Structure 1
Amino acid sequence: MTQRSLPQAAHTPSRPDLRAPARSAAAVAAAVSGLLVATLASSARAEPNFPISPQQRSTAQQVAEAGVPLSELSPNAPDSHTVKRGDTLWGVSGLFLKSPWRWPELWGMNLQQIRNPHLIFPGQMLYLDKSNGRARLRVGQVLSDSSGNARLSPRVREGNLDDAIATVPLHLLEPFFNEAVIFDSSDELLKAPRLVATQEGRVLLSRGETAYVRGELGGRRDWRLFREPKPLRDPATREVLGYEAQFVGTLALVREGAEGTGADGQPLVVPSTFTVNSIRQEAAVGDRLAPVPPRDFNNMAPHAPRQDVAGQLVSIYGDALSAGQNQIVALNRGSRDGLDRGAILALWRDGRTIRDMTLADKPTIKLPDERHGLLLVFRVFDRMSYALILNVKEPVKAGDRFTQP
C-alpha cells in the first residue's frame, strides 16, 4: 500500500524557527515527529510488524524524553544524511552512533507512537538535532530563509512500504535461510523422503530434469535436497551439537506417488515425481529431502544479546578453512543460551604466545586478546546458530571466540 501526503496547510501552519536551537528543539521535535506519526498511523494496520523487544522499546522511550548524550555520537557523525537506495538501518546508525546495534537510541523518538520504527525511505533527510548537550535524530529538511536563519521543513514521503530501507543487508542472508540448516540428529535426514531414481536412469540430475522420490510428503509441494550430514562439535567440549547437511538444490512435486497391488497380486509402489528447480550441485540417488521452511527472513532489528554470552565458532559454512566479511559461520550457542535473530556479537582474536626478546632468559609471554570484528546472528537453533560476519580485520577460523558486543 502507499502512504498519502498530508495537506501542508492542515499540519504545518507555520514552520518552526531554529534560530534558538535550545529553545525550539521541543517544537521542532513535535512538528516533525507529529507529521511522521500521523502519516504512518493510517498504514499501521497493514505494515509489516518488525520485531521490537521490550528492552529496545524501553530504551527508546527513555531516549525519546532525553535524547542521546553527545559523547555517544560517532566522532565523524554528520549533521544530516539523505537516505539512499541500498542504505540499511545498520549502516545509517553507524554514521551517527559509535555502536550501530544501539539503534533504539537513534530512532527512539518514533518508538513511543509508531509500532514499526523501520519506515525510513530513500530520499528522506535525517537531521541530527544537537541541543542542551543531547542529540536527537529528526526526519525533515534543513532550509535557510532570506535572512540566513536555519529552519526545519518536515517532509512526508509518498511511496510503497516495500521501499523502506532494510535494517541489515538481507540480500546477503536470503539464500542461507534455505541452505544453512542444522538438524538435531543424523536420523532426522535418514528418515526423510529420499531420491530413489532419476530421469532415464542417469547417475546425476541437473536443473529441469525429473527425479523420483519415496517417502511421506504430507501434501507439501516445495522441498530442499540434502546430502551427507556431518556432525558439528563444540570446539571446547567436543560434544556433538547438531548435524549440518550439504545443500544440493530444490525440488517441486509434480505428481504424488501411490502404493497398491499389481496384476500378479504383489505389492506395487509408484514413487512420487519431482522436477529439479534449482541446483547447487548435481543431485543423485540417495539424497534426502527436507521441506522448504516458511519465509522467516523478514527484517530483523540488530541488538545486543538479552544476556551475557560467550562462545566459539564451530565451523565456516561451505567447509572453508577461514572466512572474511559477508561469509557465514556456525556458533556453539543457540536459543537455550539466550541468542535470538538480530543479536550482535563481538569477534575476538587470541593473542599470540611469543618470547620476550628484551630479557636475557627470553621468557614466554602471551599478547592480549584483541576484538577485531562483529557478527550478526540470523538463524537460531536450540544449541547452535548461524551468523553473518558484518566486518572483520583478519580472517576468522573455527575455534575463534565471540562475546556480547
Structure 2
Amino acid sequence: MISRMLVKMIAVLWVGIAAGWLNPAVSYSEEASEKVLKLHSGLYYTIQKGDTLWDLSERFFDSPWVWPDLWQKNSQITNPHRLYPGEQIRLFSREETQTMVVESRPEPEVAVEPQEPPYYFYPPINSVGFIKERPVRPSGAIFKVKGNKAMISYGDLVYIRPIGRPTFTPGDRFTIYRVLEPLKDGEIKADVGIQHCILGLVEITEGHPKFAMGRIVQSRQTIELNDLLMPYEARSPKITLTQSKKRLEGKIIASEGHERIFGDQAVVFIDKGRQDGVRVGQSYYIYEQEKERLDSKKKEDLLLSPVDYGDILILHTEETTATALITRAEKTVRPGARIRSPF
C-alpha cells in the first residue's frame, strides 16, 4: 500500500508542477480545484456535497483506511461522519508531499518497539477554553475585516491592531479568543475566574509598523470585531491517561456553553486545578449522595452511600480550575454536580 501511496503522491506533485501550482484535487474535480485556498501552511480543499473523509482519503491517499489521520489533521471537524459543503480541510503543501516521499522509505527493523501509553483521542483539543483568575494579556485585537462583513468567518482577511509590542511575522499563527464576565460559583456566590472562549485561528499574511493583516484559517465560533489574539500553542489531541489525585473532591462549576443541563461529550469547568494536584489526562467520577430520613418521627437524616453516574477527563489545567470532558453520563448533569477521585 505504501508503494501505491508514493505513486499517487508523486503523480499529484507532477501535475502541480506542470500547472504551476500544486492542487491535489485538480484531476478529480474542476469545481473543487477552484475552491482550493493557498496559505503559508499548505493547501485547503473545499468540501463538496456528498464528500466523506472515507472517499477523500481514497481519492488523495489511495486508501480509505487513512481517514482517521485526515481527521486528526483537521481538528475543526468535530464529527467525522458529518461534513458540510463549503467547509475547508487541510491537505498537503508541495514541501510536505516531498517530505512524505523521503520519510516513507523503509527503516531498519526494530526488535522491540516501545509500547505507547494509553491515551484518549480528542481532535478539537485546540478549541477548548479555560478559566483564569486574571485575563491573558493579548497580543492584538481585530479592528477591521475586508469587505466590512457583519460576521467574520473562515477565509476572511482581517486587520489587527497590536497591543503592547508583539511581533507579527507572515506565517505566524495566533489564537482568536474572547473573555467573558467573571464566572461565579452558584453555591458560594463568589467569582471563580474569567472564562476565555477560543474562537478560531488567524495566520499573519502581512506585518506593518502600526497594524498587521491575517487570514482566518479556523473558525470555531462567530468571530467579531475587537476579539483578541494570543500566541498559538498547539495542543496534542492525544490525551495521555494518568493516575488521578487521591481523595480529591470538587464540583462542576459550569459547562463551556453555560447550559442549564448537559451530558456526554460536554466540555465543563471544575473548581480544582494544578494547586490541588489536578493534571491533564486524569479521570474523576461524577456522583451524587442523597440524604434520607429513616424514621419520620425523628428529624435526623442519614447520609447514604455515594452513587457514581458519570466520568470526566481532564483536558486543560490552570492554577485553581480545570477544563474537562464528560466521557460518560448516565443521566443529566447540572452545574454544581459533585466530582471525586476513583479511589
TM norm structure 2: 0.58
Over aligned residues, Cα RMSD in angstroms?
A: 3.2
Tell me whether 1:343 sits opposite 2:282 in the alignment. yes
Pick the aligned partner of 2:262 from 306, 311, 323: 323
SS at match of 1:214: strand
Structure label with greater radius of gyration: 1
2:148 is matched with which residue? Answer: 201
Task: In structure 2, give the amino acid aligned to 1:227.
Answer: R
Tell me if structure 2 keeps the 8 A contact 1:174–1:297: yes
1:15 is matched with which residue? Answer: none
Tell me if structure 1 keeps the 8 A contact 2:284–2:339: yes
Tell me if structure 2 keeps the 8 A contact 1:178–1:293: no
Distance 1:224 1:386 in 2: 18
Q: 1:339 to 1:281 in 2, by over 3 A?
A: closer
Distance 1:304 1:384 in 2: 15
Pick the aligned partner of 2:307 from 341, 355, 370: 370
Shift of 1:344: 1.9
SS at match of 1:258: coil
Pick the aligned partner of 1:225 from 169, 176, 195: 176
Pick the aligned partner of 1:253 from 204, 209, 212: 204
SS at match of 1:284: coil
Tell me if structure 2 keeps the 8 A contact 1:302–1:376: no
Task: In structure 2, give the amino acid aligned to 1:218.
Answer: T
Shift of 1:341: 1.5
Task: In structure 2, give the amino acid aligned to 1:205.
Answer: I
TM alignment of 1:139-178, pairs within 5 A: 167-170=118-121, 173-178=122-127
Distance 1:217 1:362 in 2: 68
Q: 1:393 to 1:231 in 2, by over 3 A?
A: same
Shift of 1:281: 2.9
1:295 is matched with which residue? Answer: 235
Tell me if structure 2 keeps the 8 A contact 1:177–1:379: no
Shift of 1:206: 1.9
Tell me if structure 2 keeps the 8 A contact 1:198–1:284: no
Task: In structure 1, give the amino acid aligned to 2:130.
Answer: V
Tell me if structure 2 keeps the 8 A contact 1:316–1:330: yes
Distance 2:263 2:143 in 1: 39
Q: 1:229 to 1:176 in 2, by over 3 A?
A: farther
Task: In structure 1, give the amino acid aligned to 2:119.
Answer: V
2:252 is matched with which residue? Answer: 313
Q: 1:167 to 1:232 in 2, by over 3 A?
A: farther
2:221 is matched with which residue? Answer: 281
Shift of 1:346: 1.6
1:79 is matched with which residue? Answer: none
Shift of 1:400: 0.8
2:45 is matched with which residue? Answer: none
Identity %: 17
2:329 is matched with which residue? Answer: 392
Distance 1:309 1:315 in 2: 19
Task: In structure 2, give the amino acid aligned to 1:349.
Answer: E
Q: 1:213 to 1:349 in 2, by over 3 A?
A: same
Distance 2:173 2:111 in 1: 33
Distance 1:213 1:330 in 2: 30
Tell me if structure 2 keeps the 8 A contact 1:166–1:299: no
TM alignment of 1:41-60, pairs within 5 A: none
Q: 1:338 to 1:228 in 2, by over 3 A?
A: closer
Pick the aligned partner of 1:214 from 149, 155, 161: 161
Distance 1:229 1:323 in 2: 20
Shift of 1:289: 1.1
TM alignment of 1:67-216, pairs within 5 A: 167-170=118-121, 173-186=122-135, 188=136, 191-215=138-162, 216=165
SS at match of 1:175: helix
Shift of 1:207: 1.1
Shift of 1:198: 0.9
Distance 1:388 1:160 in 2: 34
Tell me if structure 1 keeps the 8 A contact 2:267–2:323: yes
Unmatched 5+ stretches in structure 1: 1-84, 86-156, 260-270
SS at match of 2:259: coil
1:380 is matched with which residue? Answer: 317
Distance 2:198 2:235 in 1: 18
Shift of 1:296: 4.5
Distance 2:242 2:266 in 1: 17
Distance 2:111 2:186 in 1: 49
Task: In structure 2, give the amino acid aligned to 1:308.
Answer: R
Distance 1:241 1:297 in 2: 27
Distance 2:112 2:159 in 1: 43
Tell me if structure 1 keeps the 8 A contact 2:120–2:240: no
Shift of 1:343: 1.7
TM norm structure 1: 0.50
> 1:104-153: per-residue Cα shift (whole Å, max 9, x none)?
xxxxxxxxxxxxxxxxxxxxxxxxxxxxxxxxxxxxxxxxxxxxxxxxxx
Shift of 1:201: 2.2
SS at match of 1:244: strand
1:272 is matched with which residue? Answer: 212
Count of residue correspondences: 230
Distance 2:198 2:332 in 1: 24
Task: In structure 1, give the amino acid aligned to 2:275.
Answer: R
Unmatched 5+ stretches in structure 2: 1-65, 67-108
